[in-house]
Amino acid sequence: MADNEMNQQLANLIQRVEDLEGKVAEDHLTLGVMKGDLDYTIAAFIIALGAAAYDMKVDMFFTFWATAALRDPKKKAKKGFLDTMFGWMLPRGTMKLPLSKMQMCGIGPKMIRSVMKLHKVQSLEELMAEAGKMGVRIHVCTMSMDVMGIKKEELIDYPHMDYVGVGTFVGMFDRAKQCWFM
Amino acid sequence: MADNEMNQQLANLIQRVEDLEGKVAEDHLTLGVMKGDLDYTIAAFIIALGAAAYDMKVDMFFTFWATAALRDPKKKAKKGFLDTMFGWMLPRGTMKLPLSKMQMCGIGPKMIRSVMKLHKVQSLEELMAEAGKMGVRIHVCTMSMDVMGIKKEELIDYPHMDYVGVGTFVGMFDRAKQCWFM
Amino acid sequence: MADNEMNQQLANLIQRVEDLEGKVAEDHLTLGVMKGDLDYTIAAFIIALGAAAYDMKVDMFFTFWATAALRDPKKKAKKGFLDTMFGWMLPRGTMKLPLSKMQMCGIGPKMIRSVMKLHKVQSLEELMAEAGKMGVRIHVCTMSMDVMGIKKEELIDYPHMDYVGVGTFVGMFDRAKQCWFM
């Protein structure tokens, strides 16, 4: 092969490798959290922490029912009639989350919590505190907050929390290694 | 390095880059939609539209309960006894979809719909119409249609809809950037 | 370009391609199975088998409620009081799994099973046996087993089953093409 030709092939190859580098997934996990039950929220944080321990960047997008899990029972917000009504019906923070199964009028969640304690599994509240320390970011879906009538003032203090639209979420998972919706 | 050796290295590298190009994920989102509740179906279409707005190719695979969301209440199909029975029990189109939570004998879905309207969020029906315009494709699982006794004749008119098996779905998500099951 | 420079560019490019090869997703599907309802467990195995038929490596991670689907009704395990209590409440194997919808006091699962048989769709038990033959691996979450009080001695005989922590699961999906949580 002539030097000239090799130069061209090399330049062409550099371009193709650059394109590939721009397309390959980043070390990044995004979790869409929608269900907002105790068991699913625990699962989401256990996986988030597992991935963070592997040095993956982790972004959680809280939407629909799951936004109610971020309410702080000690905080109040001024609301209109419809929002207040929704506020009554939605769980006020993690301690009120139902189980997706075996709810049994509230006995189920207490049983799971006590068995988890017995087996020295961290509680949801401890998992969330650790997620904050590990740099796991929580993005709250603004549209869901509007629909559910949930205000920023009533949400928990979390070190890496912001309020975003669906577009931001799509941008986030675009190059993430994995993105789940649970 | 001798020219000869460089030639060989270059040829070898071109092969490796070609292999990589065949493996890297495409700008493509596939959504497996199974649950068929109002809230989950809305979420699926909001994400589909968000991804389509980012110029991602979007394929939705409707399976199990979700196939009932594609029924058109104005259309009828001839069915055997068992299929007719299933047909009665499954929701007849989007307006009859239950919520996954706070169903409250049908009040929940109406509340969510009216709050969404209040906040100028598009209704599920509007989202679906827009998805059709944006080129989002809907693939209906033929096995689910068989099991649920749902016939092609009773499904909505959607510009990009076809009927496929699980194998086609696996082929679709094989190189998709993300694939969720909701 | 001088030979010297070309040599350097080539060496640099080889390094970049090596990096990319280490990052690109493998032909591998991981499924997080959590829900443990009849319909979701069937869906998980149908997809697992579909992917295996495409020569994908398939790993299933059974966690939370889904671990109960792996119980063998003919096997017994010695348990403490709390574990025995949980054991009563959780389904004892696949034949006892509820549907996520239309449970109707146990009529729903029987209807689905008979309709599936009618349409010559494999039963869950047949799907699982085939998954075993196709080399689909099942990993059972040890933390869930602890919390639910489920013992190894009471689980089904499956050719490729082991017991792992969440860390192992994160390591598994790290380079998987797709990973779902259902």
The closest of B82, A11, A115 to C149, measured between CA atoms, is A115
Contact C60, C143 (CB under 8 A): no
Instruction: Tell me the C-alpha to C-alpha distance, in Å, between residue A94 and each of A29, A98, B119, B124, C128.
Output: 23, 9, 26, 29, 36
For residue C162, is pLDDT > 80? Answer: yes
Report residue A126 as tokens: 């401890």
Q: CA gyration radius for chain C?
A: 21
The closest of A11, A14, A158 to A94, measured between CA atoms, is A158
- State ipTM: 0.91
* Per-position DSSP letters for C16-62, written without gaps between them: HHHHHHHHSPEEEEEEEE----HHHHHHHHHHHHHHHHTT-EEEEEE
Task: Tell me what pLDDT residue C86 has.
Answer: 87
Q: How many CB pairs (< 8 A) connect A and C?
A: 86
pLDDT of chain B along its 182 residues, tens only? 677 888 888 889 999 999 999 888 888 999 999 999 999 999 999 999 999 999 999 999 999 999 999 999 999 999 999 899 889 999 999 999 999 998 989 999 999 999 999 999 999 999 999 999 999 999 999 999 999 999 999 999 999 999 999 999 998 888 888 888 88
CB of C134 within 8 Å of a chain B CB? The answer is no
Q: What is the mean pLDDT of chain C?
A: 93
Q: Give the model confidence (pLDDT) of C36-87 as tens digits.
A: 999 999 999 999 999 999 999 999 999 999 999 999 999 999 999 889 988 9
Task: Tell me what pLDDT residue A1 has.
Answer: 60
Residues of chain A with pLDDT under 50: none
**Rounded CA separation C118/C105 (Å):** 22
Give the relative orientation of helices C3-23 and A3-23 as an angle to the nearest 10 degrees: 30
CB of B2 within 8 Å of a chain C CB? The answer is no
Q: Give the model confidence (pLDDT) of A147-171 as tens digits.
A: 999 999 999 999 999 999 999 999 8
Residues in contact with C12: Cβ distance below 8 Å, sequence separation at least 6, in sequence order: none
Query: What residues of B are in contact with residue A148 (Cβ under 8 Å)?
Result: 115
Task: Judge residue B175's burial from the number of C-beta atoms within 10 Å of its C-beta, 0-12 exposed, 13-18 middle, 19 or more buried.
Answer: middle
pLDDT > 90 fraction of chain C, expressed in percent and rounded: 76
Place of tokens 């007719």: B84
Q: How far does the CA of residue C134 sit from the closest CA of chain A (Å)?
A: 25
**Rounded CA separation A170/A146 (Å):** 19
Task: Tell me what pLDDT residue A74 has.
Answer: 96
- The torsion of the CA quartet A116, A122, A126, A129, rounded to 10 degrees, works out to -140
Place of tokens 């574990």: C83
Task: Judge residue B164's burial from the number of C-beta atoms within 10 Å of its C-beta, 0-12 exposed, 13-18 middle, 19 or more buried.
Answer: middle
The closest of C76, C161, C89, C169 to A115, measured between CA atoms, is C89
CB of A24 within 8 Å of a chain B CB? The answer is yes
Task: Tell me what pLDDT residue B163 has.
Answer: 98
Main-chain dihedrals φ then ψ at residue A51, nearest 5 degrees: -70, -40
**Rounded CA separation A16/A180 (Å):** 30
3 state SS of A42: helix
Q: What angle do CA A4, A5, A8 make, to 5 degrees?
A: 90
Query: What residues of A are in contact with residue B116 (Cβ under 8 Å)?
Result: 147
For residue C1, is pLDDT > 70? Answer: no
Q: How far does the CA of residue C122 sit from the closest CA of chain A (Å)?
A: 27
CA C21 to chain centre: 27
Give the relative orientation of helices B124-133 and B38-53 as an angle to the nearest 10 degrees: 30
Q: Give the model confidence (pLDDT) of C110-142 as tens digits.
A: 999 999 999 999 999 999 999 999 999 999 999
For residue C167, is pLDDT > 80? Answer: yes
Report residue B80 as tokens: 């055997």
Place of tokens 């933390």: C143
